[in-house]
Amino acid sequence: MPRTIKIAAAQMGPVHITSPRTEVITRMLSLLHSASSLGAQLVLFPETAFTTFFPRHLIASQASLDSYFEHGDNLPSSPNTKPLFDAAKELGIDISVGFAERTEEGEGYNASVYFSAEKGAVIAKYRKVHLPGSKEPFENPDAVNQLEKRYFQPGNLGFKAFRTPGLVAGAAKKGSEELGAGKGDPIMGMMICNDRRWAEGWRIYGMQGVEVVLCGYNTAGFAPDLWGTRKVMTPEEAEVDAVFHHKLVMQSNSYMNSCFSVSAAKAGLEDGKYDLIGGSCITSPEGHVLAEAKGKGDEIVFAEIDLEDCRQGKEKTFDFERHRRIDQYGLITEQTGVVEPELLP
């Protein structure tokens, strides 16, 4: 039986350091309404969607830094963010959105939440595990910094898949396990930007039977100090490469874990100077791009997907139970960095 969902990525154009929060929320509401007019049941917004991607800036004042953060559990009630959650509930659309989270203890995380319209509540939270960049800014004054290690702690909630109620009619519920896998409410997982480049998170989701991975991002189009300068590229060539790598990891990891993925960019020239790639897309369990953004502004990327399409990969090529060989994978969790084989005599 088909298990279809109408799903959307809400790509956002630039959010400047000077953009008033009310203006950003108005844009997000407009995207949500556009997605609603297409019949979307779930809309994904980007990483740190409500503000500029502030980790590119060295921010000295604590008050100024704090202005970019929200208290995670207050998101649906905070004046800065409430209108989005109210509208999602009213329209009956689930949303997932990225934000900078400040905890009661004062820790910072690069986080995202999943809000269920049926439950009228946040039902899952994720904290970004792979924080790119550095604690200190580059010496090169023209470099694009990525100070996530300065402002955030590495995520500590793991890669925990969750079920999303109310999206698929006739979903099997607890007690009907005899029906077998792939019959219940959709299984989803969240990751944030740089996480998508790491196979480990995808596999952990794959091992929980994930059917849709949601990933918001802010990816610089031209950042040689971050990416490396082995091959000198023009900004235009670098951006083409960055979009290629983005799609490469979304497509290949979707394929290797037999799941759909939805990715939503914050794109365009942020703060008038820093270029972010577009390329928001929806990919299939066979690794194909089903829908993608045309430009680098506010735009809805939409697809109707059938979760049944995950079954072929999960039951054949990537039937983990039959084919994985964990006795051979020890290094993955025993070792962090690279240890090369000894030099030859």
Give the interface with ligand CDT as residue ranges (CB under 6 A).
47, 132-133, 146, 193-194, 197, 217-219, 226-227
Question: Are 76 and 122 a contacting pair, CB within 8 Å?
Answer: yes
Q: Which of residues 265 and 303 has its CB atom nearest to ligand CDT in the complex?
A: 265
CA gap 167, 334 in Å, rounded: 39
Angle between helices 21-37 and 82-91 (to 10 degrees): 10
Nearest approach, Cβ of 147 to ligand CDT (angstroms)? 11
Q: Which of residues 197 and 324 has its CB atom nearest to ligand CDT in the complex?
A: 197
Nearest approach, Cβ of 142 to ligand CDT (angstroms)? 16
Nearest approach, Cβ of 215 to ligand CDT (angstroms)? 10
Nearest approach, Cβ of 146 to ligand CDT (angstroms)? 5
Nearest approach, Cβ of 219 to ligand CDT (angstroms)? 3
Q: Which of residues 195 and 299 has its CB atom nearest to ligand CDT in the complex?
A: 195
Q: Which of residues 219 and 253 has its CB atom nearest to ligand CDT in the complex?
A: 219
Q: Which of residues 88 and 129 has its CB atom nearest to ligand CDT in the complex?
A: 129
Question: Bridge partners of 97?
Answer: 113
Q: Which of residues 29 and 226 has its CB atom nearest to ligand CDT in the complex?
A: 226
Nearest approach, Cβ of 326 to ligand CDT (angstroms)? 28
Q: Which residue has the tokens 């009956």?
A: 92
Question: Are 249 and 198 a contacting pair, CB within 8 Å?
Answer: no
Nearest approach, Cβ of 336 to ligand CDT (angstroms)? 17
What HEC string does the chain produce? CCCEEEEEEEEECCCCCCCCHHHHHHHHHHHHHHHHHCCCCEEECCCCCCCCCHHHCCCCCHHHHHCCEECHHHCCCCCCCHHHHHHHHHHCCEEEEEEEEECCCCCEEEEEEEEECCCCEEEEEEECCCCCCCCCCCCCCCCCCCCHHHHCCCCCCCCCCEECCCCCCCCECCCCHHHCCCCECCEEEEEEHHHHHCHHHHHHHHCCCCCEEEEEECCECCCHHHHCCCCCCCHHHHHHHHHHHHHHHHHHHHHHCCCEEEEEEECEEECCCEEECCCCEEECCCCCEEEECCCCCCEEEEEEEEHHHHHHHHHCCCCHHHHCCHHHCCHHHHCCCCCCCCCCC
Q: Which of residues 226 and 269 has its CB atom nearest to ligand CDT in the complex?
A: 226
Instruction: Give me the active site residues, please.
Output: 47, 128, 193
